[in-house]
Amino acid sequence: MIRRLCVIGVGLIGGSLALALRRAGYCGQIVGAGRHAETLERARDLGVIDGYDLDFAQAVGGADMVVLAVPMRAMATVLASIHDHLAPETILTDVGSAKGAVIEAAGAVFGDLPSAFVPGHPVAGTENSGVEAAFPELFQGRRVILTPTPASSPVAIAAVRKMWMAAGATVEEMDAVSHDRILAATSHLPHVVAFALVHALSQMEAESEVLRYAAGGFRDFTRIASSDPVMWRDICLTNAPAILDALDQFQAGLDELIQAISAGDGARIETMFREAKHTRDAFRY
Ligand code: NAP
């Protein structure tokens, strides 16, 4: 049980975690922190947090667990503003979508990584942002990947693991490099491709005419292009090498398909589509 939880960044992920832990009876008091009083007042009105502080240093005072749930490129600034104010026993974790960059930011701020720091990433989300989009079931049956550093203590890892389990998630551990490579392929690449596809369509001459005829396939494939541009800009910038590797592989596949279509090579096209269908049909969410 967490006596006092501090969530910095009470949006979709931070807000959903707070709601899930409250519902599970796993938390005493929940304090929010962020840039804007309006966001935090809304969070309080919605029953997501009990109170808030715009001063991050004060917000973490007395907390036994601090969760950073801000966009990737805000992590370093937030870490810098709290690092002198964290009690040694306060456990610190984050929900950032790329782990190497958060660990690097923590290293730059703390020098030696603290034993109470356990980076994490819930592999769950929606295309919506902000506290209004938060809901307590978001993590139910979903995976959370922890990427402990060599300094992370077993006690801190266990506490973060238990928190996510109380929120309904199953928890796995992985090293940060593997996490960033795998998530670049399975999450970051599909988002980048969806954004690129919709952007390309929006640049076409008769865009309104083109989109008038868009139907289920367009809707299903492009839902994630409605995701928050700032969040995805930050993910691209903070996991660039792994995303570029994934894009290279995707581009090779696209080139192969272009060649097959240009050559009228129906057998090659069908084989590629069959292999893709087989993989997709076997996928269980
Ligand atoms: P979100 O709904 O936009 O929430 C972000 C929160 O951070 C908001 O409360 C925002 O409030 C606050 N914030 C924004 N910039 C800030 C800054 N510079 N300093 C302090 N607070 C700031 O975003 P989210 O979807 O919850 O994503 C949060 C984190 O979770 C990101 O690191 C993302 O990579 C990760 N994540 C997202 C998903 C997903 O599918 N959405 C899944 C897994 C992990 P104000 O704007 O009022 O400041």
Residues 6+ apart with CB under 8 A from 203: none
Q: Which pLDDT score, from 0 to 100, does residue 207 have?
A: 66
d(CA 232, CA 190): 11
192 and 251 Cβ atoms separated by less than 8 Å = no
86 and 26 Cβ atoms separated by less than 8 Å = no
Residue nearest to atom 17 of ligand 1 (CA): 74
Q: What percent of the chain has pLDDT over 70?
A: 99
Q: Which pLDDT score, from 0 to 100, does residue 106 have?
A: 98
Mean pLDDT of the 104-117 span = 96
235 and 136 Cβ atoms separated by less than 8 Å = no
Domain with CATH 3.40.50.720 in the chain: 2-174
pLDDT digit string (tens) for 58-101?
Answer: 999 999 999 999 999 999 999 999 999 999 999 999 999 999 99
The SS3 assignment for 22 reads: helix
Q: Which of 70, 82, 132 to mutate to test the pocket of ligand 1 (most atoms within 8 A of CB)?
A: 70
d(CA 115, CA 91): 9
First-to-last alpha carbon distance for the chain, in angstroms, is 30
Architecture of domain 178-281: Orthogonal Bundle (1.10)
107 Cβ closer than 6 Å to some ligand 1 atom:
no
Q: What percent of the chain has pLDDT over 90?
A: 92
Domain boundaries 2-174, corresponding CATH code: 3.40.50.720
Specify the pTM.
0.94
pLDDT digit string (tens) for 147-169?
Answer: 999 999 999 999 999 999 999 99
Q: Which of 97, 102, 164 to mutate to test the pocket of ligand 1 (most atoms within 8 A of CB)?
A: 97
Instruction: Please name which of 76, 81, 30, 79 lies closest in space to residue 55, comparing C-alpha atoms.
Output: 81
15 Cβ closer than 6 Å to some ligand 1 atom:
no
Q: Residue 250: is it exposed, middle or buried by C-beta count within 10 angstroms (0-12/13-18/19+)?
A: middle
pLDDT digit string (tens) for 169-223?
Answer: 999 999 999 999 999 999 999 999 999 999 998 888 666 777 777 888 889 999 9
Q: How far is the CA of 70 from the centre of ligand 1 (A)?
A: 4
pLDDT digit string (tens) for 29-48?
Answer: 999 999 999 999 999 999 99
pLDDT digit string (tens) for 249-268?
Answer: 999 999 999 999 999 999 99
Q: Which pLDDT score, from 0 to 100, does residue 118 have?
A: 98
61 and 7 Cβ atoms separated by less than 8 Å = no
pLDDT digit string (tens) for 119-151?
Answer: 999 999 999 999 999 999 999 999 999 999 999
Q: How far is the CA of 149 from the centre of ligand 1 (A)?
A: 23
Q: Which pLDDT score, from 0 to 100, does residue 205 have?
A: 66
Q: Which pLDDT score, from 0 to 100, does residue 202 have?
A: 86
Domain with CATH 1.10.3660.10 in the chain: 178-281
The angle at the Cα of 65, spanning 59 to 103, to the nearest 5 degrees, equals 95
Question: Alpha carbon of 165 to those of 13, 24, 45, 144: distances in Å?
Answer: 15, 10, 26, 9
